[in-house]
């Protein structure tokens, strides 16, 4: 629906829709573009406004046309200028007394509402500077931020919030933008974007008393349900019918959502377990210890005197099962990225033990020292790569809002210069890392073996880590010859 609406307004002058909210899904209700006028001197003021004919509009206004006068569809010239992104005409009409918050059309929308529907960020900025009120509600019950969310215009959402619009503003039915996104938006991006502004997860609307999670489940919005559960939305709030989110999932017979909610309930109950809290505190240490044990057990099984590969294969599969069970039950998602790191360190540890106890007696003193120096360099630069800030871009909430306004006013509030996940201005060559959930300056990669991003802050240490890792591997290989 949103895509059809937007596509129908991509070219030529546009008309405000004169249909009700029940007819937004019907293409036959969408008006087409007007034909191009051949002679500007014969245009009426409405058509001249649609096509941005500034001189013709000035001529007609100076001749006595009242800029506040609505046409037969109850739409003013300011509406026509706003919907077609005619900024000079908007400035001119306001200077001639046009009412910036005039309601017009069957949807009883202000010029600001229609600029937002079309995604005209510069027009939105201009109207707000001229005193437009973003909190006004149109005939469908939506305020400015609700319309920006409904039509998924992310830069406009960011700009409205940066200018002080409350993320929890309610519409006529008491729905917040988060509820509207959960109910009507397709895909995870709109929900992810709104959650960055810390909206109220457990607010309820005025009619159904539903939370955003209730609305997401009722609408079958799986991606929104997943994001809301991850953000910590309550599972216990009941709506006006006394239904919890799980009850609605059962009613909709959506087995996948039922499974998602039940698993989230189990996970939250586990977090309250005292023993598991202690385990979580020492999670990284336990992961390293378990990987050391796992690597030792693999070596032990492979070194068994038995010639039965069936026995050895069965034991190895049993070890793999036990390790995967440990990871699933005791390792949280936050620290799961360090699992390859734990296996790397375990491998190096046992190979070092092999070197010292098996190869050392047969190797010259100078070679021993070289190996020890390489091992120390490897561990040191691994630690420096892991512990050094790679260049995470950190800003306060106030700085984020200032950046959004500055980028918008410079005409640069787009995905090339603005990260919609971190809500920050992206420096040159920065990339948003999905694993670390942060933008990294001069991003190189997210290293699987260190569990950290590599950027401007630790790139030097990472290169030396690789050099010493290669040298250590070469010396270990040399010891086997």
pLDDT tens-digit readout, 43-71: 788 889 888 889 999 999 999 889 998 88
Q: What does the pLDDT read at residue 8?
A: 34
Q: Write out pLDDT tens, residues 241-272.
A: 999 999 999 998 889 999 999 988 888 887 77
How far is residue 481's CA from residue 46's CA, in Å, rounded to a whole number?
A: 88
Residue 186 has pLDDT above 80, yes or no: no
Closest to 436 in 3D by CA, of 426, 456, 450: 450
Backbone dihedral region for residue 107 (phi beyond 0: left; psi -120 to 50: alpha; all else: beta): alpha
425 or 5, higher pLDDT:
425
The tally of CA atoms less than 13 A away on the side-chain side of residue 240 is 7
Phi, psi of 221 (to 5 degrees): -85, 85
Q: Write out pLDDT tens, residues 353-362.
A: 877 777 666 6
**Structure tokens given for 402:** 């200032």
Residue 203 has pLDDT above 50, yes or no: yes
Query: Are the C-beta atoms of 122 and 87 separated by less than 8 Å?
Result: yes
How far is residue 447's CA from residue 196's CA, in Å, rounded to a whole number?
A: 26
The distance in angstroms from the start CA to the end CA of the chain is 69
Q: Write out pLDDT tens, residues 372-420.
A: 888 899 999 999 999 999 999 888 888 888 888 888 888 877 777 788 7
Query: Are the C-beta atoms of 129 and 121 separated by less than 8 Å?
Result: no
325 or 428, higher pLDDT:
325
Query: Are the C-beta atoms of 112 and 82 separated by less than 8 Å?
Result: yes
Closest to 170 in 3D by CA, of 197, 149, 192: 149
Task: Give the mean pLDDT of 145-151.
Answer: 92
Q: What does the pLDDT read at residue 200?
A: 93
162 or 351, higher pLDDT:
162
Q: What does the pLDDT read at residue 189?
A: 80
Q: Write out pLDDT tens, residues 85-97.
A: 999 999 999 999 9
pLDDT cut 70: percent of the chain above it: 89
Q: What does the pLDDT read at residue 22?
A: 33
Query: What are the Cα distances from residue 334, in Å, to 284, 320, 338?
Result: 11, 22, 9
28 or 162, higher pLDDT:
162
Query: What are the Cα distances from residue 449, in Å, to 324, 338, 339, 385?
Result: 19, 8, 9, 10
Query: Are the C-beta atoms of 280 and 249 separated by less than 8 Å?
Result: no
Phi, psi of 446 (to 5 degrees): -100, 110
Backbone dihedral region for residue 381 (phi beyond 0: left; psi -120 to 50: alpha; all else: beta): alpha
Q: Write out pLDDT tens, residues 18-50.
A: 333 333 333 333 334 444 445 667 778 888 988
Residue 14 has pLDDT above 60, yes or no: no
Task: Give the mean pLDDT of 162-170.
Answer: 91
Q: What does the pLDDT read at residue 271?
A: 72
Residue 16 has pLDDT above 60, yes or no: no
49 or 367, higher pLDDT:
49
What is the average pLDDT value for the chain, to the nearest integer? 83
């Amino acid at each position: 629906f949103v895509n059809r609406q937007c596509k129908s307004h991509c070219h030529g002058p546009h008309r405000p829709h004169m249909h009700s909210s029940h007819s937004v899904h019907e293409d036959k209700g969408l008006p087409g573009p007007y034909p191009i006028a051949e002679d500007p001197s014969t245009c009426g003021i409405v058509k001249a406004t649609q096509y941005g004919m500034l001189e013709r509009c000035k001529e007609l206004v100076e001749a006595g046309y009242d800029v506040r006068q609505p046409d037969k569809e109850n739409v003013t010239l300011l509406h026509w200028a706003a919907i077609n992104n005619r900024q000079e005409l908007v400035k001119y009409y306001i200077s001639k007394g046009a009412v910036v918050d005039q309601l017009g059309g069957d949807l009883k929308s202000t010029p600001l509402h229609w600029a937002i529907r079309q995604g005209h960020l510069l027009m939105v900025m201009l109207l707000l500077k001229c005193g437009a009120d973003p909190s006004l509600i149109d005939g469908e019950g939506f305020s400015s931020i609700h319309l920006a969310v409904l039509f998924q215009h992310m830069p406009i959402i960011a700009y409205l919030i940066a200018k002080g619009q409350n993320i929890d503003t309610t519409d006529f039915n008491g729905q917040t933008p988060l509820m509207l996104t959960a109910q009507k938006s397709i895909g995870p991006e709109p929900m992810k974007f709104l959650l960055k502004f810390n909206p109220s997860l457990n607010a309820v609307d005025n009619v159904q008393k539903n939370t955003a999670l209730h609305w997401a489940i009722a609408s079958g919005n799986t991606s929104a349900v997943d994001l809301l559960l991850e953000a910590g939305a309550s599972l216990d709030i009941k709506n006006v019918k006394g239904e919890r989110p799980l009850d609605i999932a059962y009613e909709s017979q959506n087995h996948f959502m039922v499974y998602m909610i039940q698993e989230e309930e189990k996970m939250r109950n586990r977090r309250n377990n005292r023993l598991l809290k202690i385990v979580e505190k020492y999670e990284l240490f336990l992961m390293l210890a378990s990987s050391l044990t796992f690597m030792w057990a693999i070596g032990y099984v492979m070194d068994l005197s038995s010639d039965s590969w069936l026995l050895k294969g069965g034991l190895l599969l049993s070890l793999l099962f036990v390790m995967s069970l440990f990871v699933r039950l005791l390792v949280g998602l936050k620290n799961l990225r360090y699992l390859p790191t734990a296996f790397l360190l375990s491998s190096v540890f046992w190979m070092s033990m092999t070197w010292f106890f098996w190869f050392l007696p047969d190797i010259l003193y100078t070679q021993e020292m070289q190996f020890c120096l390489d091992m120390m360099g490897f561990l040191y630069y691994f630690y420096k790569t892991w512990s050094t800030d790679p260049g995470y871009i950190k800003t306060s909430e106030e700085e984020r809002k200032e950046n959004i306004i500055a980028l918008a006013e410079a005409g640069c509030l787009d995905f090339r210069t603005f990260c919609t996940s971190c809500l920050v201005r992206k420096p040159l060559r920065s990339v948003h890392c999905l694993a670390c959930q942060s933008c990294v300056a001069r991003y190189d990669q997210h290293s699987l073996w260190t569990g950290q991003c590599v950027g401007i802050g630790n790139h030097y240490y990472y290169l030396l880590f690789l050099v010493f890792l290669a040298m250590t591997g070469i010396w270990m290989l040399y010891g086997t010859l």
